[in-house]
Structure 1
Amino acid sequence: MYRGKLYIAMADEHKDVQFSFKKVFKEIRVKHELNVFKDCHQLMAYLMETKVVPHLVFLDVNMPERSVLQCIKEIRAVKKLQNLVIAIYNTLSNNDDEENTFIAGANIYIKKPASFTAFKKIMEEVLSLSWLYTTDGFNRDNFILSY
């Protein structure tokens, strides 16, 4: 887990999901800054302008306007963002989504559980493993997380 402040961004149009992420990070009690965007367009505008690149970005697999695959590819095409850890999440498991997001350059695929307790446990694991994704890059063995 990061020792300093963890910079996180997420793109999801649903307010209830945004609230869940805010709540889980507050409960984990990690020093963080969470920037929330409704879609990839807003996220990319922020990522291009910011001086502090986030450590971690969460993307909903069902993004409006641009597909999650297009968003991942846009992020990976920018030199300053190439080491950004990209976590994809979805409430439904879909082997095609898992495979396609891995190939596009995502580091983590989270099968988001219905229970908040299980979601919190997964997020704790993501935070404790996120350094691994920046040092080891893409790895199928630790790509999918679920409870």
Structure 2
Amino acid sequence: MTHMDFYILLADDDEDDCMFFNDALEELSIAASLKTVNNGVALMEFLNNNERGLPNVIFLDLNMPCKSGPECLLEIKESEKFRHIPVVMYSTSFNLEVMDQLYHNGAQYYIRKPADFSDLKSVINRTISTIKAKGAQRPLREEFEMQP
């Protein structure tokens, strides 16, 4: 498996969270490459300008400037070109109503950003392994929240 076999796009405005995500990914035995963007507008511009090199999965922060995670999710899932890409919502917040709406709007999984680095590695590993195994097949609502 080459380093480019699995391509992850992370959209998160928090630089520390991006760094922790990258560090966790590097410590896992997953052959993957990571691209980060820092807001929703940059995410959509990146997707639209790189249609030949689309990611295998998008980790999407809920609260971002310029365009929020939920707005991006709707735009991605309404697009013929992008709707096949699994979108994992990635946030510190835990609001069941918001989670229900995200699931309804097509998100693949929901991850609460763990404070603990080993938990972060674990949840990234589980999520990527599940997506590699199941592709864009969405889980039942009860299995929507991915836990370490």
TM-score above 0.5, yes or no = yes
- Distance in 2 of aligned mates of 1:143 and 1:137: 8
- After superposition, the Cα gap between the structure-2 partners of 1:135 and 1:85, relative to the gap in structure 1 and judged at 3 Å, is closer
Q: Deviations over 1:33-92 (max 9, x none)?
A: 211001111111111121111000011111212222211011112212111010011123
1:70 alignment counterpart: 71
Q: 2:127 corresponds to which residue?
A: 126
Residue 4 of structure 1: CA displacement? 6.4
Residue 19 of structure 1: aligned partner: 19
Paired residues in the alignment total 146
Q: Distance in 2 between matches of 1:43 and 1:23?
A: 21
Distance 2:35 2:140 in 1: 27
Provide the alpha-carbon RMSD of the alignment.
1.9
Which deviates more from structure 2 when the two are superposed, residues 107-116 or residues 129-138?
Answer: 129-138
Give the distance between the partners of 1:135 and 1:101, measured in 2 at CA.
15
In structure 1, give the amino acid aligned to 2:54. Answer: V
Contact 1:107 1:133 in 2 (8 A): no
Secondary structure of the residue aligned to 1:145 is: coil
- What CA deviation, in whole Å up to 9, does each residue of 1:99-137 have, x standing for no partner? 111111110000221100011111110011013553523
The two structures have a TM-score, normalised by structure 2, of 0.89
**Distance in 2 between the 1:18 and 1:3 partners?**
19
Which residues of 2 match residues 91-102 of structure 1 at below 5 A? 91-102=92-103
Q: Which runs of 5+ in 1 are unaligned?
A: none
Structure 1 residues 118 and 53, CA gap change in structure 2 (3 angstroms): same
Q: Distance in 2 between matches of 1:14 and 1:70?
A: 18
Alpha-carbon separation, structure 2, partners of 1:25 and 1:59: 16
Normalized per residue, the structure richer in strand is: 1
Matching residue of 2:44: 44
Note the residue ranges of structure 2 that are not aligned, 5 or more in a row. Answer: none
Paired-residue identity, %:
26
Over 3 Å counting, the alpha-carbon distance change for 1:92 and 1:70 in structure 2 is: closer
Query: How many Å separate the matches in 1 of 2:105 and 2:31?
Result: 30
For residues 77 and 36 of structure 1, what CA distance do their matches in structure 2 show? 22
Q: What is the TM-score with the length of structure 1 in the denominator?
A: 0.90
Query: Runs of at least 4 residues of structure 1 off by over 3 A?
Result: none
